[in-house]
A = this chain, B = another copy of it.
């Protein structure tokens, strides 16, 4: 009932970190593929090669496992985002401001997160899945992880498009989130329609195609 079993500040380099990391890695993979409700703790612990009770011992509950997963994997993304946003600047020889901002927002989401055994694509899938749910827990996790940096980028886009009404920018920013998340989800649908010529799993290619597309959309004249 109480949170007595939360790990009590292991002062030194933890040797059981291996177990924790193995659980996180397996959980990310399985959650991304079949969702929170679709995967059992027994399957996760079996794939991680640890005992069933390890999840509740190290994380407290299944829900807190998901929270811990996001707390670890999302931070590098938002940090890199803010770093890239700080480097954006109008200067001769560089790309226009809007292109810089969008690339700074999208690139970390696509390419980052592949530290410590969980590749970026897996975490992206998990993110995309949680993003289309209306479950309160997921919305809270996503908000806590990404809202701050996302709001900062929204302001940067507003500033980069001074002639566009703010409401218009917000709609288009929303559309951008859709393209980003659906590409990260990589559901395989576009492959089945086109026969495989378009591969959203290729992060560099996706970025190269996505940024010009979005910039053109953002620069469209305001709606009547």
Does A212 make an interface contact (CB < 8 A)?
A: yes
Instruction: Verify A209–B171 contact, CB threshold 8 A.
Output: yes
Instruction: Verify A170–B198 contact, CB threshold 8 A.
Output: yes
CA A173 – CA B171 in complex, angstroms?
19
| A173-207 interface bits toward B, Cβ cutoff 8 Å, 1 = contact, 0 = none | 11101111111011111101110011010000010
Does A167 make an interface contact (CB < 8 A)?
A: yes
CB neighbours (8 Å) of A219 from chain B are: 216
Instruction: Verify A175–B170 contact, CB threshold 8 A.
Output: no
CB neighbours (8 Å) of A116 from chain B are: none
Chain B residue at minimum C-beta to C-beta distance from A173: B190
Does A147 make an interface contact (CB < 8 A)?
A: yes
Instruction: Verify B217–A213 contact, CB threshold 8 A.
Output: yes
Q: A132-B129, A133-B187 are in contact. Are A154 and B193 (CB under 8 A)?
A: yes
CA A198 – CA B171 in complex, angstroms?
6
Give which listed residue, B132, B154, B194, B223, contacts A187 with CB less than 8 A.
Answer: B132
CB neighbours (8 Å) of A38 from chain B are: 35-37, 135
Instruction: Verify B177–A189 contact, CB threshold 8 A.
Output: yes
Instruction: Verify A192–B147 contact, CB threshold 8 A.
Output: yes
Instruction: Verify B129–A193 contact, CB threshold 8 A.
Output: no
Does A131 make an interface contact (CB < 8 A)?
A: yes
Most buried by B among A38, A151, A174, A192: A174
Instruction: Verify A208–B223 contact, CB threshold 8 A.
Output: yes
Does A134 make an interface contact (CB < 8 A)?
A: yes
Taking the closest CB of chain B, its distance from the CB of A178, in whole angstroms, is: 3
15 A–B pairs (Cβ distance < 8 Å), ordered by A: A34-B37, A35-B35, A36-B38, A131-B187, A133-B187, A134-B187, A143-B189, A167-B198, A170-B197, A175-B179, A175-B183, A175-B209, A208-B223, A213-B218, A216-B216
